[in-house]
Structure 1
Amino acid sequence: MAERSFREEIAKLRLGEGETFTGEGILAITKALLENGVGYVGGYQGAPISHLMDVLSDAQELLAELGVRFEANANEAAAAAMLAASVHYAESGGR
Structure 2
Amino acid sequence: MRVWLACFLVLFALAELFDWLQEFNLPLPIYILGGAFLAVASNYDKIIGSYFTDATIDASPKQPQLDLPTQSPHSISFTIANPVKDAQESE
Shorter-chain TM-score: what band? under 0.3
Q: TM-score, normalised by structure 1?
A: 0.25
Highest Rg: 1 or 2? Answer: 2
Structure showing the higher helix proportion among its residues? 2
More strand by share: 1
Which of 1 and 2 has higher RCO (CA within 8 Å, sep 6+)?
Answer: 1
